[in-house]
Structure 1
């Protein structure tokens, strides 16, 4: 037997009310004539109004709203997409503001929270594009993901000491945010917290901070310096990527996990190099004792011209130098037993692995016969490169190896190669033709994504797997002879390799 519940909804003075099971009332909407400035009644038929219901005034024509002290919760989407709403007065009593409660209200300029407020939901004020000032009160405990994301007019924020949790990307794309004060007891900066806060110039991190999430300061283009506190033990990937003005990452001496040298971030024992700030100019000498340079360590250091590799270094990837458009020289200590350079290229000592090509202005490159592996990102961003001769000795080419080689017109891959790795030719927008290896087994995800001029490709019968979006964005591709996705093929039948 199917049980049904009925809602008891009544209307009075333009407001719609619903009686709740605990003897209280929620305002769940208003009739079409409810416009302009309105004050929500504190009681209805003698019962207290404790909630503003889910989507109650979404897309309405209110210009100003006054919320009484009896209300405890503003539910999800309660005032979502109110394009005329300019002022909101929230009385003491409200403890919860739900997800998207005031999202996409473009004319709200300021908001003050009462001391009773404990929680601000996800996307609560997302895309409130004219919100310039937020007044928090002590008592607030949590702020949800993207709560103030996309609020470009927001300039200054003071977060009270009572806050214990701030969600992901809370201030994402707040492009005018210049200063923010965080609680000293705060332990974690969430992922993407200040992503694209392009006006943020400096920030004092809390003394007890332990974790800086991935992308926490990504694309903060005006951030010049930052100091890592003593208790930080985890800094996420790309935490400072896109900080083009950052010239120094300093670390307090008491920190037992991280260290710094000439502005760059290292492990405490100075054996691992994590990040060189993107604003560093000229040359950089990796200090003696460093054994590993981590992936992306020099990413987009566009003002860097040369790097010196010490005797101690044992590991470095081609991806470490992605986006270093002015890097023209890498020197290796002659006594280093792991690396060598030859003709503007960084190799393993035995010349079997090509790690990175520095010839950003070179049009033609011939890879030595000794090479068996081309590292990931090895030629990425070599915009003037037109032709590459790859010997038959090469049997491995890493992901993104030719990404962004916009001058590359045609290429012949050796028959020794059995796999085209993911994003291998991503964004090679002038690539017209490719000769695939006769023994090819796999074409990776996005392998030719964005190759706008690619017109024809013959896929050998040996191919068993074609990755997702392998040929996405290949607008001129007229013919692709691909194997039937049956038998032992790993590609699901009917999936498109041309999806975009």
Structure 2
């Protein structure tokens, strides 16, 4: 027969139990924890496993993360590929929001991730992309400051509008910097484009903060059209070195601070509007094998007082030297035509050498050239009068003093 517990012993035991419960609550946190479902209950479902550091997410937190949010609890969203791999597309709001310093996961739900295709919440300050990601597309973020692409990444596009992005590290495996890759990234002042890069896309660095750029010798293509060129409207760009043999139309258009340009001697053509409105460009050495200057190549280069055109050039298209500060010009001996508007609004042009090969001078070739006083012609008057000179926009040319049987040395 059990003994009856007296009041003192009962209170002593109850107090001990209450203290144990209190300690357990402190150690376990302040939030209420629901009872675990009974294994015998048919409606109970097991909780999903916590993401592992090597598969679900290898994210780490920093000062920008709140103390009670663990980066390891990010629930990533993916899109499955037929080959057993996956594409990272975002995160689930039921988990933690990616923020601060984030290393993207290499695997999720057993699938290797081979691509990023989506915005990850917009509060990541540093993104580290593993080499298993072949394509990287983000969508841009005003919070992103650093982007590290590990060896293995091959293409990147659409980080446009990441105005705080100041550091980008590209791997040697990168092949393509594509559409709007760094458009409007105004804090990005420099970047190392590695040898092995093959393509620059629409607006790759347009309106960015770049001050200098070196285009590697391996670049062979540009996906650009008119003002969507890779360095269009880079207002702080001062220096450009082109090591490859091909260029993009409008490539440096509207770069008002560009003062130094180095071109590969293997370049055969200067594309349409390549240096249009580079108003600070004081001089340029053209490639020695150059064959053609496309339309408006130097239109608006108001600080360009002179230029030497290689004898290999046989085509100079419309408005190539319009609105420049050229004072005198020697045209190459293989030129057949002075195209429409070639020297339009060259307000301080004083003299021009025209070779015997020229048989046509089109409309407005010398329109608004008030200081044009001297024309040096390679042959005589008989040949000159047979040139087809447009009556429209060439008044000052026709009024200039003619110097027949001249040579280029007459202007040097």
How far apart are 1:164 and its partner, in Å?
Answer: 1.4
The corresponding residue for 1:293 is: 361
- For residue 212 of structure 2, what is the aligned residue in structure 1? 156
Question: What residue number does 1:180 align with?
Answer: 240
1:223-372 matches, cutoff 5 A: 223-253=281-311, 255=312, 257=314, 263-264=328-329, 266-269=331-334, 271-273=336-338, 275-276=342-343, 281=348, 283-285=350-352, 287=354, 289=356, 290-295=358-363, 297-298=365-366, 305-308=371-374, 311=381, 312=384, 313-316=387-390, 318=392, 331-332=399-400
The aligned residue for residue 43 of structure 2 is none
Alpha-carbon spacing, 1:265–1:126, altered in 2? closer, same or farther (3 Å): farther
Q: Is the strand fraction higher in 1 or 2?
A: 1
Q: Residues 113 and 280 of structure 1: is their aligned pair in 2 closer, same or farther, counting only changes over 3 Å? A: farther
Could you tell me which residue of structure 2 aligns to residue 110 of structure 1? 167
Please tell me whether residue 72 in structure 1 is matched to residue 134 in structure 2: yes
Following superposition, the deviation at residue 194 of structure 1 comes to: 0.5
CA distance in 2, matches of 1:213, 1:144: 16
Closer, same or farther: CA 39–56 of 1 in aligned 2, 3 Å: same
Q: Where do 1:43-58 residues align within 5 Å?
A: 43-53=107-117, 55-57=118-120
* Cα displacement string for residues 271-308 of structure 1 (whole angstroms, at most 9, x for unaligned residues): 5335449777362245474543345544676xx52344
Say whether 1:193 aligns with 2:234.
no
Number of equivalenced pairs? 308
How far off is 1:233 after superposition? 2.1
Q: Alignment partner of 2:147: what SS?
A: strand
SS at match of 1:16: strand
- Shift in Å, 1:320: 6.2
The 3 A distance-change label for structure 1 pair 256 and 195 is closer
- Residues 413-467 of structure 1 deviation map (CA, whole Å, 9 limit, x = unaligned): xxxxxxxxxxxxxxxxxxxxxxxxxxxxxxxxxxxxxxxxxxxxxxxxxxxxxxx
Q: Which runs of 5+ in 2 are unaligned?
A: 1-50, 57-72, 405-412
Specify the alignment match of 1:38 in structure 2.
102
Q: Do the aligned partners of residues 201 and 279 (structure 1) sit closer, same or farther apart at CA in structure 2, a change above 3 Å counting?
A: farther
Which one of 77, 82, 87 corresponds to residue 21 of structure 1? 82
Matches of 2:104 and 2:343, distance apart in 1:
55
What is the Cα deviation at residue 258 of structure 1? 6.1
Residue 49 of structure 1 and its aligned partner are, at CA, apart by 1.4
Identify the range of structure 1 (215-224 vs 157-166) with the bigger mean alpha-carbon deviation. 157-166
CA distance in structure 2 between the aligned counterparts of 1:247 and 1:335, rounded to whole angstroms: 22
Which of the numbers 131, 139, 144 marks the counterpart of 1:85? 144
RMSD: 3.3
For residue 335 of structure 1, report the CA deviation from its aligned partner. Answer: 12
* Cα shift at 1:265: 6.1
Deviation at 1:246, TM superposition (A): 1.0
Note the 1:416-455 alignment, pairs <5 A: none
3-state SS, counterpart of residue 222 of structure 1: coil
The residue that corresponds to 1:349 in the other structure is none
CA distance in 2, matches of 1:217, 1:125: 21
Distance 1:299 1:195, change over 3 A: farther
Is contact 1:246-1:279 (8 Å) kept? Answer: no
Residue in 2 that maps onto 1:362 = none
Q: 1:89 to 1:270 in 2, by over 3 A?
A: closer
User: Structure 1, unaligned stretches of length 5 or more?
Assistant: 1-9, 322-326, 337-500
CA distance in 2 between partners of 1:110 and 1:300 (Å): 47
Summarize the Cα distance change of 1:262–1:230 in structure 2 as closer, same or farther, 3 Å threshold.
Answer: farther
1:352 matched residue in structure 2: none
Q: Distance in 1 between matches of 2:368 and 2:187?
A: 32
Taking structure 1 as the reference length, the TM-score comes to 0.55
Specify the SS of the correspondent of 1:227: coil
Shift of 1:245: 0.8
C-alpha displacement of 1:163: 1.4
Residue 143 to residue 282, structure 1, CA distance change in 2 (3 Å): closer
Please give the secondary structure, in 1, of the residue aligned with 2:165.
coil
Q: Is the 8 A contact 1:308 1:331 kept in 2?
A: no
Choose between structure 1 and 2: higher helix proportion.
2
2:408 counterpart residue number = none
Q: Is the 8 A contact 1:308 1:332 kept in 2?
A: yes
Contact 2:253/2:278 (<8 A) preserved: yes
TM-score (norm 2): 0.66
**TM-aligned CA distance change 1:299 to 1:193, over 3 Å:** farther
Q: Deviations over 1:138-168 (max 9, x none)?
A: 11111112211111x2111112222112343
Contact in 2 for aligned 1:121/1:147 (Cα 8 Å): yes
| Higher RCO (CA 8 Å, separation ≥ 6 residues) | 2
Deviations 1:379-431 (A, max 9, x none): xxxxxxxxxxxxxxxxxxxxxxxxxxxxxxxxxxxxxxxxxxxxxxxxxxxxx
Contact 1:242/1:300, CA 8 A, preserved across alignment: no
Structure 2 distance, partners of 1:73, 1:284, is 54
